[in-house]
């Protein structure tokens, strides 16, 4: 009887036949566990089972058929267990766990079953039919893992992590067997895999993953109610924990926001302004502890967070407090018999979703105009930097903001999507990558939400030959290395006129060489850590690619691991010369300390090259020729521009991008347009003249 007919017996046979086959398979597994593959024969199985060899042959044909059936039975059992564990589960992390638990369940992870598995594995490479079973079983495991991982990390990483998890499962089996089942039991094997998956996920969650590797014990989960840790990227220490918000929590937040908003919108602009000003004062008075928290959460130097992050948030609250008092519609004269007016009304409940580079500042830049206009805001910080927004929520409450009007929900992209798809949220303001912007806009379209998108960039800085050289070098440094280069508006394409390039580079390299890389909490440190190991690897990858593509690395570009810095993700600021417009380092957003210097000779040429990008966030020009400065700026395709400076962002000036860098504006009066809607009112002053 060949294997084909065995299968037909298996599916069409009488129950008694199936029971007998099942018993013989169990005896075969016992035999494999005791005497191995070679020692297991039809006669030996018949003898153990107390039946004739002919009966065994009747069911299974030959030894290959018997062993094939036993192997299928083992594989099917694990698959069935996995399927029944997977059925009630929808969240991706729990689905991964179901695969782990099914493979390492106590009934599988024991000496008998494990040794039988090993006996098969030993034969898989030689016996074709066993190889088939093994490959179907592996494919199924990998595909379940991959489809769950695809929801958590990018596809290429999902693929390799799925393979890693499968290998770890195999590896833990092998180790346990080789140690005579003393090294691990089912519970400890599952705990090992769970920890491995959490750590890898943490490191791999695209550009969000922080603190991967064995040194950092952050337990990442994407399920509602579970908590995750925020890690200091400078040393791997846990800074704090937060809970993931799921649908239940988001719905509750929206209901609370609706209640609070009704109360908040009923106040006068002056009353709302008073609360915002009090919050600004509290921010200023807590600048030191807030800056320290921000530095620990982001890895940015304290010398930056002390003077920018908190202060800029407070400036923003004060600015919009003033506007809250002067919000107004229009009066329109429609002749003696009528007039019209517009009312500027709040949208209702709005959502803010933040990136990890300026967590508190982003929360303030979104909350201030939203609240000034009488909205309530639910804010989701980036998963990597969740802590300072919680402090802002506390400060708002302390300042007198009604409960529910500013709330923080924590979590990953899934939590963000609960906001962007919520029917009772009227607007979403996102700061993040272009890809996230597209996803948010598409989700928001389902409920026709208004969106503001502050996205990525690859901005140009143009240095003409009449520029004041030291100022231009300062501008290029500000345009590239603040926050370790993790600034959206950075001008990472520095076009320098050929006539001054050598002198420019000479001064630039000297100043970069003197920059101090170190512990971000040390006030003398100028260059802190990158946000995560994952992100650091991405940055280092770009640096390697730049060299491979022929750019000349003048300085930096290496990971810095001296002393305690080895515990964090530090990269020395890099300057590339001899760059071409088609190089990856010149075209793509790196979001790290990597400056590309490009030579140019002609104004028209440099404008064309500066605009040859899908991005359009920012741009800068250094020149002493006033006319040229304005002429060039007018032609640059960018939302935010500087003449003879770079990266200064006073709240009074609107900030935002064009092209793929975003939609809408933050700051300035322009932001009011994005957080209010106009109601037009016609008022008749005479009788109604109807023709009917
Ligand atoms: P991401 O786009 O990865 O994430 C931004 C936020 O969106 C995070 O809170 C993230 O959650 C959330 N999110 C991710 N996917 C979704 C989704 N499908 N639906 C709803 N929310 C989602 O950006 P980064 O945090 O990596 O920040 C770096 C990027 O931000 C760079 O491209 C930079 O240029 C840009 N940026 C732009 C600025 C601007 O003003 N134009 C300013 C600062 C940064 P989670 O983190 O949990 O995944």
631-668 pLDDT, tens digit per residue, is: 999 999 999 999 999 999 999 999 999 999 999 999 99
Q: What is the dihedral of CA 20, 21, 23, 28, to 10 degrees?
A: 150
Overall average pLDDT of the 345-371 stretch: 98
Higher pLDDT: 397 or 181? It is 397
Q: Render pLDDT for 240-289 as a digit per residue (tens, 0 to 9).
A: 999 999 999 999 999 999 999 999 999 999 999 999 999 999 999 999 99
d(CA 256, CA 263): 11
pLDDT at site 212: 32
Overall average pLDDT of the 379-383 stretch: 97
87: exposed, middle or buried (Cβ count in 10 Å: 0-12, 13-18, 19+): exposed
d(CA 512, CA 109): 57
The answer to whether 149 and 162 are in contact (CB under 8 A) is yes
For 559-592, give one letter per residue: b (16+ CB within 10 A) or e: bbeeeebebbbbbbbbbbbebeeebebbbebbbb
d(CA 62, CA 576): 69
d(CA 436, CA 667): 22
Among residues 236, 297, 300, 199, which one has the least CA distance to residue 565? Answer: 236
Question: What is the DSSP pairing of strand 460-463 with strand 618-622?
Answer: parallel
Overall average pLDDT of the 37-43 stretch: 85
Please report how many Cα atoms fall inside a 13 Å half-sphere around the Cα of residue 52, on the Cβ side.
3
Question: What is the DSSP pairing of strand 552-555 with strand 574-577?
Answer: antiparallel
Percent of all residues in the chain with a pLDDT value above 70, rounded to a whole number: 94
| Band (203; pLDDT cuts 50, 70, 90) | low
| Band (89; pLDDT cuts 50, 70, 90) | low
Overall average pLDDT of the 6-14 stretch: 35
Percent of all residues in the chain with a pLDDT value above 90, rounded to a whole number: 67
Among 184-198, 367-381, 491-505, 524-538, where is mean pLDDT lowest?
184-198
C-alpha 400 to ligand 1 mean position (Å): 30
C-alpha 354 to ligand 1 mean position (Å): 6
pLDDT at site 668: 98
Angle at 132 between CA 130 and CA 133, to 5 degrees: 65
Token pair of 348, please?
């209702």
d(CA 208, CA 202): 8
pLDDT at site 364: 98
Residues in the ligand 1 pocket, defined by CB under 6 Å: 207-208, 353-357, 380, 382-383, 412-413, 416-417, 420, 430-433, 436, 439-440, 454-457, 488, 589, 591, 617, 657, 662
d(CA 638, CA 610): 10
Q: Which residues are catalytic?
A: 366, 454, 488, 666
The answer to whether 37 and 66 are in contact (CB under 8 A) is no
Rounded to the nearest integer, the mean pLDDT of the chain is 90
Overall average pLDDT of the 455-470 stretch: 98
Q: Please, which residues have CB within 8 angstroms of residue 589's CB and are 6 or more apart in sequence?
A: 433, 456, 457, 458, 492, 615
Please tell me the residue having the least CA distance from ligand 1 atom 23.
432
pLDDT at site 10: 34
Q: Where are the alpha helices (DSSP H) in 446-481?
A: 469-478
Higher pLDDT: 241 or 485? It is 485
pLDDT at site 692: 96
Write down the pTM of the prediction. 0.73
Q: Where are the alpha helices (DSSP H) in 40-127?
A: 42-49, 53-60, 63-86, 92-103, 111-124
For ligand 1, pick from 206, 207, 355, 421 the residue to mutate: most ligand atoms within 8 Å of CB: 355
For ligand 1, pick from 231, 244, 436 the residue to mutate: most ligand atoms within 8 Å of CB: 436
SS3 content of the chain, % helix, strand, coil (to 5): 55, 15, 35
Higher pLDDT: 125 or 276? It is 276
Token pair of 627, please?
């006319």
Q: Among 9-13, 97-101, 155-159, 623-627, which range has the highest average pLDDT?
A: 623-627
pLDDT > 50? residue 33: yes
For ligand 1, pick from 208, 363, 384, 432 the residue to mutate: most ligand atoms within 8 Å of CB: 432
């Amino acid at each position: 009887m060949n294997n084909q007919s065995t299968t037909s017996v298996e599916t069409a046979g009488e129950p008694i036949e199936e029971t007998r086959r099942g018993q013989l398979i169990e005896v075969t597994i016992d035999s494999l566990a005791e005497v191995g593959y070679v020692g297991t024969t039809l006669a030996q199985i018949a003898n153990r089972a107390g039946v004739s060899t002919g009966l065994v042959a009747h069911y299974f044909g030959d030894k290959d058929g018997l062993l094939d059936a036993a192997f299928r039975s083992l594989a099917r059992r694990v698959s069935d267990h996995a399927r029944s564990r997977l059925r009630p589960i929808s969240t991706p992390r729990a689905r991964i766990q179901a695969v782990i638990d099914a493979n390492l369940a106590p009934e599988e992870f024991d000496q008998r079953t494990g040794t039988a598995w090993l006996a098969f594995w030993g034969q898989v490479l030689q016996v074709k039919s066993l190889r088939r079973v093994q490959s179907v079983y592996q494919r199924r495991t990998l595909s379940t893992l991959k489809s769950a991982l695809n929801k958590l990390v990018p596809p290429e990483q999902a693929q390799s992590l799925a393979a890693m998890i499968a290998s770890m499962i195999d590896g833990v089996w092998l180790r346990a067997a080789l140690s005579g089942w003393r090294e691990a039991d089912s519970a400890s094997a599952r705990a090992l895999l769970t920890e491995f998956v959490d750590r890898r996920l943490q490191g791999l969650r695209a550009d969000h993953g922080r603190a991967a590797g064995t040194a950092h014990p952050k337990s990442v989960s994407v399920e509602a109610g579970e908590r995750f840790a925020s890690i200091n990227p400078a040393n791997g220490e846990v800074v704090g924990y937060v809970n993931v918000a799921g649908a239940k929590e988001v719905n509750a937040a929206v209901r609370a926001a609706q209640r609070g908003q009704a109360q908040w919108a009923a106040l006068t602009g002056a009353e709302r302004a008073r609360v915002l000003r009090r919050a600004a004062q509290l921010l200023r008075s807590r600048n030191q502890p807030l800056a320290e928290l921000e530095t620990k959460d982001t890895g940015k130097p304290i010398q930056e967070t002390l003077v920018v992050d908190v202060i800029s948030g407070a400036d923003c609250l004060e600015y919009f407090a003033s506007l809250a008092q002067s919000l107004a519609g229009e009066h329109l004269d429609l002749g003696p018999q009528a007039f019209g007016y517009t009312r500027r009304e709040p949208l209702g409940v709005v959502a803010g979703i933040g990136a990890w580079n300026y967590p508190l500042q982003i929360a303030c830049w979104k909350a201030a105009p939203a609240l000034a206009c009488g909205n309530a805001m639910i804010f989701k910080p980036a998963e990597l930097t969740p802590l300072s927004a919680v402090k802002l929520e506390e400060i708002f409450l302390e300042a007198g903001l009604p409960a529910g009007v500013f709330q923080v929900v924590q979590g990953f992209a899934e939590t963000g999507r609960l906001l962007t798809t919520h029917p009772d949220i009227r607007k979403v303001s996102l700061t993040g990558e272009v890809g996230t912007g597209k996803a948010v806009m598409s989700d928001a379209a389902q409920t026709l939400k208004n969106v503001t998108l502050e996205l990525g960039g690859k901005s140009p800085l143009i240095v003409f030959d009449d520029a004041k050289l030291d100022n231009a070098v300062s501008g290029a440094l500000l345009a590239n290395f603040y926050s370790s280069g993790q600034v959206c508006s950075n001008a990472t394409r520095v076009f320098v006129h050929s006539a001054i390039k050598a002198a420019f580079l000479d001064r630039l390299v000297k100043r970069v060489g003197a920059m101090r890389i170190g512990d971000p909490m040390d006030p003398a440190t100028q260059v802190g850590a990158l946000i995560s190991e994952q992100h650091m690897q991405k940055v280092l990858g770009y640096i390697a690619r730049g060299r491979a593509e022929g750019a000349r690395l003048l300085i930096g570009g290496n990971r810095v691991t001296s002393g305690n810095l080895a515990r964090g993700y530090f990269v020395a600021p890099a300057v590339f010369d001899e760059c071409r417009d088609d190089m990856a380092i010149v075209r793509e957003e790196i979001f790290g300390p990597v400056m590309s210097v490009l030579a140019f000779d002609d104004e028209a040429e440099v404008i064309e090259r500066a605009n040859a990008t899908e991005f359009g966030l920012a741009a800068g020009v250094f020149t002493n020729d006033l006319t040229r400065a304005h002429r060039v700026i007018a032609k640059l395709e960018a939302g935010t521009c500087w003449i003879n400076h770079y990266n200064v962002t006073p709240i009074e000036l609107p900030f935002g991008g064009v092209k793929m860098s975003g939609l809408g504006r933050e700051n300035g009066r322009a932001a009011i347009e994005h957080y209010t809607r106009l109601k037009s009112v016609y008022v008749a002053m005479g009788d109604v003249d109807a023709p009917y």
